[in-house]
């Protein structure tokens, strides 16, 4: 059985570094895939060249947050913002196609109520229909209450219900173990409840969101269990390093030795 496979979230692990240089750092560190949050259009050629040079796949990127200065964190569930939400989806999918990204995370935003639900479902149907011909998966992610208060999607059961309501088969849940842990949930139990709806797994220490070799979740035990339970994708390292990123990567060797399923 293959060792666990890890992807690097470039924006958190190498903040401020140009994406193409961060991709080189990720490859040198032993990551076998990368993730980007919001790549700039002007960086696309350099990113593509770095991906081609290293051979690392891009697992996913996000739709735009909206007005960050005003506290926005996604547009797709915001009542009255459907046109902007659709534009953000179309822009993210265009970048995903240019970079051969496997998925796009459609960010819901801070909203509540029936109108938000209807808007999010409509936006996801739009994203799904545009993504399907290109083999791109649409991801939605429940976030935790503390880091993003007011975010529309916090409950994995709600995420599953939304996917069912869309009636689409290329929408999956991004299961971030950090967010689940911060919400008092057991990531392994969440995985069991979601089953095949799990599209990607991310992790970071709970509660400080730094290197994953400490905290309330024992990832050296959890990640092999998730692979044993049927997860076959990469595990995304999405944490904020305490100091120098390279100096904090000692966890990789120990975690990767877990042999509980094939990944990649």
Catalytic residue positions, numbered: 141, 238
Residue 208 dihedral angles phi and psi, to the nearest 5°: -95, -5
- ∠ Cα 256 258 260 (to 5°): 130
Query: Is the four-CA dihedral 178, 183, 189, 191 of positive or negative sign?
Result: negative
SS3 content of the chain, % helix, strand, coil (to 5): 45, 15, 40
Instruction: Provide the CA 142 distance to its chain's centre, in angstroms.
Output: 10
Alpha carbons 108 and 3: distance in angstroms, whole number = 34
DSSP character for 64? -
Closest CA to 150 of 113, 182, 185: 113
Alpha carbons 264 and 262: distance in angstroms, whole number = 7
Alpha carbons 169 and 29: distance in angstroms, whole number = 35
Alpha carbons 134 and 136: distance in angstroms, whole number = 5
């Amino acid at each position: 059985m293959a060792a666990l496979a890890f992807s690097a979230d470039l924006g958190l692990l190498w903040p401020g570094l140009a994406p193409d240089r961060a991709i080189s750092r990720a490859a040198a560190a032993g990551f076998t895939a990368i993730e980007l949050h919001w790549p700039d259009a002007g960086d696309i050629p350099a990113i593509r060249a770095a991906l081609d040079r290293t051979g690392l796949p891009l697992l996913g990127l996000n739709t735009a947050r909206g007005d960050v200065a005003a506290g926005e964190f996604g547009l797709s569930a915001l009542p009255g913002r459907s046109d902007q939400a659709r534009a953000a989806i179309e822009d993210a999918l265009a970048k995903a196609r240019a970079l051969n990204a496997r998925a796009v995370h459609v960010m819901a935003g801070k909203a509540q109520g029936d109108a938000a639900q209807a808007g999010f479902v409509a936006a996801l149907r739009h994203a799904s229909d545009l993504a399907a011909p290109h083999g791109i998966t649409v991801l939605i992610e429940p976030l935790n209450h503390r880091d993003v208060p007011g975010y529309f999607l916090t409950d994995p059961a709600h995420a599953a219900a939304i996917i069912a309501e869309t009636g689409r088969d290329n929408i999956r849940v991004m299961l971030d173990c950090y967010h689940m842990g911060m919400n008092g949930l057991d990531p392994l139990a969440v995985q069991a409840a979601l089953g095949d709806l799990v599209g990607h797994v991310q992790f970071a220490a709970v509660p400080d969101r730094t290197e994953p070799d400490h905290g309330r979740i024992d990832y050296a035990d959890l990640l092999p269990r998730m692979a044993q339970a049927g997860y076959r994708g990469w595990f995304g390292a999405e944490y904020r390093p305490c100091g120098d990123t390279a100096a904090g990567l000692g966890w990789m060797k120990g975690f990767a030795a877990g042999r509980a399923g094939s990944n990649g």
